[in-house]
Amino acid sequence: MTIFHVRFMLVSSEIRAADNRNPIILEIGQKTPMGINVPQFIDEAIAGIRRQVEGRAVIGLSGGVDSSVCAFLAREAIGDRLIPVYVDSGLMRLNESKKIAEMFSDFNLVTVTAEDRFLGALAGVIDPEEKRKVVGETFIRVFEEEARRVGAEYLIQGTIYPDLIESEGGIKSHHNVGGLPLHMEFKGIVEPLRDLYKDEVRAVARGLSMPAEICERMPYPGPGLSVRILGEVTRERLAVVRIANAIVEEELKGFLPWQAFAAVLGKATGVKGDIRAYGYIVAVRAVSSRDAMTADVLELPWEVLRRISHRITGEIPEVSRVVYDLTPKPPGTIEFE
């Protein structure tokens, strides 16, 4: 199996420190503030996909900007030889599957319902790295099955440069890099965005005239809500974190965060009415960033934090305590696991 990717170095006066991407100098032309020549990148990426993919390819389409850009590029490159697959892992945000189906209604999207499969694989798993590897392998096995069904030999995925840095540097295994199993049935994996940061991917999305809803979509981890639950993933904990996450996103969307979400940390003693309660601790996380390599905590108004706390403890009976994470990146990562 071969992993294909287009190697670019994005020329800019603001090249990020310690940037080790392999250099192919782009011609002077229309560039974003980051330095990427968007029209040229799009042309080169489409040509690269067309050159690398022989026959059919499946793409894991999650609805995030990375996989969505890959899908738009790949459809332009290979047309109906592209089979977009959305896997409903049961680890998605509230109403996520419905939104994805609506956003990509013109893509002949194949939806695979695999909640029981993912939760079964995650049963008893508490180590964060093991979670990511379990989720990564389960995704690959689902994609392999769909590929066999349609006769596809290639997998296209939206790996970006920070995924590689964090996986290879041992910070955490991204499900599409360090979380991949050693053996895969695909003839090749195609990664057109492998050398781009998130802000550069967004620039390409705008260059493709993709809907703003996709271009500016908040990043969401590949392992989904499983890494927003410290410890074992259970249906009860998923239900709690899913609703809490929706509350946080709704309350903070006006602040335009890079990411804003909730995580379940464990349990603590509380009081519900006149009765002692031993319920979940929910952490609220809201950060600003440019590319997810570093992040600052949003300084939110007290009344906003208080309203979020009241909503979470009032709307989710299983929660007894809400905290706000004040840790930047570094030393903390954006996600809790």
Mean pLDDT value across residues 72-80:
97
Q: Does 310 or 170 have the greater pLDDT score?
A: 310
Tokens (6 digits) for 82: 């592209």
Contacts of 44 (CB under 8 A, 6+ apart): 6, 8
The CATH 3.40.50.620 portion of the chain extends over 2-215
Type of residue at 97: S
pLDDT at 17 over 90: no
How sure is the predictor about 186, in pLDDT bands with cuts at 50, 70 and 90?
very high
Using one digit for the tens of pLDDT, what is the confidence trace for 189-241?
A: 999 999 899 999 999 999 999 999 999 999 999 999 999 999 999 999 999 99
Tokens 């503030």 -> residue: 33
Under 8 Å between Cβ of 194 and 20: no
The CATH 3.30.300.10 portion of the chain extends over 234-324
Under 8 Å between Cβ of 258 and 289: yes
CB atoms within 10 A of CB 98: 9
Percent of the chain with pLDDT over 70: 85
Work out whether strand 82-88 and strand 319-324 pair parallel, antiparallel, or are unpaired.
unpaired
- CATH annotation of 2-215: 3.40.50.620
End-to-end CA distance of the chain: 30
Q: Which residues, in sequence order, are bridge partners of residue 267?
A: 280
Tokens (6 digits) for 26: 């782009």
What's the Cα-to-Cα distance from 31 to each of 40, 98, 200, rounded to whole Å?
9, 36, 11
Given this model, what pLDDT does residue 9 score? 35
Q: Does 8 or 105 have the greater pLDDT score?
A: 105
234-324 CATH choice from 3.30.300.10, 1.20.1080.10, 3.40.50.300, 3.40.50.2300: 3.30.300.10
For 154, half-sphere exposure in the C-beta direction (CA atoms, 13 angstrom radius) is: 24
Contacts of 123 (CB under 8 A, 6+ apart): 232, 233
Given this model, what pLDDT does residue 148 score? 96
Instruction: Give the strand order in the sheet containing 2-5.
Output: 2-5, 188-191, 152-156, 56-60, 82-88, 110-113
- Name the DSSP class of 29: S
How sure is the predictor about 26, in pLDDT bands with cuts at 50, 70 and 90?
very low
Given this model, what pLDDT does residue 89 score? 97
pTM: 0.84
pLDDT at 182 over 90: no
Under 8 Å between Cβ of 262 and 228: yes
Given this model, what pLDDT does residue 178 score? 47
Rg from Cα positions in the chain = 20
